[in-house]
Structure 1
Amino acid sequence: MKVAIIGHTGMGGQLLTQELLLRGHHITGLALDAEKCPPQKNLSSITCNILDDSYESVVNNIRGHDVVVSAFSGGHEVDMQVYYRQVEATRKIIRCFKQAKGRYLIYIGGAASLYVKPGMQMFDDPRFPQWYFGIAPAEHLRWLGDITHESFFFAAAERREKGLLARSEPDHELQQAVAGWKRVPLLEGCRVALDLFEADKGFNWSFLSPPWFYRPGKKVGGYQTGVDFMLMDNGIPASISVPDLQMAVADEVENQFLLHKHWTVAGVN
């Protein structure tokens, strides 16, 4: 198959690219920093700015592929420009995909759009943000510290690692630190992205929301799938490693079972 990956140099995009190459597919990678990707057989890396390049350029880059995967991210900063970038890029990707007469578009969004009970998405849960951050496991906290450069995530990870808190016990110090995080632009942008997809069944799409505790880690080689609702693990949100989630994306590239579905995955022990 011919697969175009938007954002193939990012955390998830890199591993998805490798997974699909190992399966024998031909990949066109589109990214701002395409030169970061070393030359490989069956991989074409193209420098592409989804926000600034012309519609014609983006359409030409994705035309003729069996599947297009968007691993685009507007960024992790707490800055409303991230929200703008995520929403505007999503709108443009959809429009360009339609103009290219694309066959199947898989979009990787965020956990905020997952439902925690009927009629309530995670981002609308009164427990957000304190409870969701407060129960995070140590490995996830260290990753959050790496991407946000906030020292309180590392301190919270150390408390977990020292066994000062039970697995599902909230970390009250961390909850106080994130209490003001009512705006998380990337999560909010990805939630609006789902609205753009669900409003239009006129093209073939699939929308993946990673679980709340999506993070780097080792590949286990398995996963479970859910639709619309957040998967839980003994009372707390489930997790998955980056390579296992990208394995799930690669499976959907090949099988295309989840047409017009908002789905999620979680790791298995």
Structure 2
Amino acid sequence: MAGTAVVDEAHSRGHDIVAVARTAPPISGRARVESVAADVANSSAIATVVAGADAVVLTIRLAPGDEHRLARLTRTVLDSAAQHGTPLLVIGGAAPLRSPRDPGRRVIDEEDFVPAEWQALAQASLDQFDVCGAHTAADWTYLSPPAVLEPGERTGGYRRGTDTLLMGVGGRSRVTAPDLAIAVVDELENPRGDRHFTIAEHE
């Protein structure tokens, strides 16, 4: 969902794009978009893609039960980004963010934001964030979406924060995938220098 939205947004702004997936997505009739099949677990294949890029956006969605692989797969891409000096933007999870109710707690510790059935995925995103933090050689940025990232319309706006979950009217913390993609491409085009940032729907 997020990856497709980023491709659409970057394409609309005239960028040349290489869309990479384990099974190459069917992309036809779109100039400046190349579809490549590569498994993120294959370090050689990923290094080849990263070597020719001006920037890389990483978004990984694993099947239930495979969440524990997320940090290891992210490290593979971090290693390639460091080797080739390529900036890497990781679209991760909300778990590493600080709670807006208690800055001493993280979102993963707030059941209202992360119910029990989401704990495995939340822990995986926290582990992913820690892997990024430990990787001092790569030029990485970690984008934490709000509590809910969902399909929807492109409104054209969003709010940006740093390391604390953003809340909106009625206590909502959400954004649509197309609006998340706007923030991603904005950051690629004009990096702000934040290692970790978050966004939410525009109020």
TM-score by length of 2: 0.91
Provide the residue aligned with 1:73 in structure 2: 61
TM-fit CA distance, 1:200? 3.1
Q: Who is 1:92 aligned against?
A: 76
| Alpha-carbon RMSD | 1.8
SS at match of 1:69: strand
Where do 4+ consecutive residues of structure 1 move more than 6 Å?
A: none
| 1:36-66 Cα distance to aligned partner (Å, 9 max, x none) | 3335211111101112x2x222101110311
CA drift at 1:35:
3.9
User: In 2, Cα distance between the equivalents of 1:39 and 1:86?
Assistant: 33
Aligned twin of 1:102? 85
Q: Any conservation in 2 of the 1:17–1:27 contact (CA below 8 Å)?
A: yes
CA distance in 2, matches of 1:183, 1:245: 21
- How far the C-alpha of 1:205 sits from its partner, in A, is 1.1
Q: Distance in 2 between matches of 1:22 and 1:182?
A: 36
Q: Identify if the C-alpha distance between structure 1 residues 221 and 31 changes in structure 2 by more than 3 Å, giving closer, same or farther.
A: same
Q: Secondary structure at the match of 1:208?
A: strand
1:235 Cα shift? 5.8
Corresponding residue number in structure 1 for 2:95: 112
- Structure 2 stretches lacking a partner, 5+ long: none
> Percent of aligned pairs with the same residue?
29
Aligned partner of 2:197 among 263, 266, 269: 263
**Which of 57, 61, 67 pairs up with 2:49?**
61
Aligned counterpart, 1:139 = none
1:41 correspondence with 2:23? no
Q: Which amino acid counterpart does residue 48 of structure 1 have in structure 2? A: A
The question of whether the paired residues in 1 share the 8 Å contact of 2:159 and 2:202 is answered with yes
Alignment partners' CA distance in 2, 1:199 and 1:35: 32
* Whole-angstrom CA distance in 1 between matches of 2:146 and 2:25: 30
Provide Cα deviations, 1:1-57, integer angstroms capped at 9, x if missing partner: xxxxxxxxxx11111101111111111111012143335211111101112x2x222
Partner of 1:86: helix, strand, or coil? helix
SS in structure 2 of the partner of residue 110 of structure 1: coil
User: Contact 2:146 / 2:173 at 8 angstroms: preserved in 1?
Assistant: yes
Write the distance in 2 (CA, Å) between the matches of 1:85 and 1:201. 21
8 Å CA contact retained: 2:78, 2:138: no
- Residue 108 of structure 1 aligns with an amino acid whose one-letter code is I
CA contact (8 A) 1:231 1:238 kept: yes
> Which residue number corresponds to residue 185 of structure 2?
250
What CA distance in whole angstroms lies between the structure 1 residues aligned with 2:113 and 2:108?
10
CA 1:73–1:223 in structure 2 vs 1: closer, same or farther (change >3 Å)?
same
The number of residues matched between the two structures is: 201
The one of 108, 113, 122 equivalent to 1:132 is: 113
**Cα shift at 1:237:** 4.1
18-27 or 200-209: bigger deviation: 200-209
Highest CA radius of gyration, 1 or 2?
1
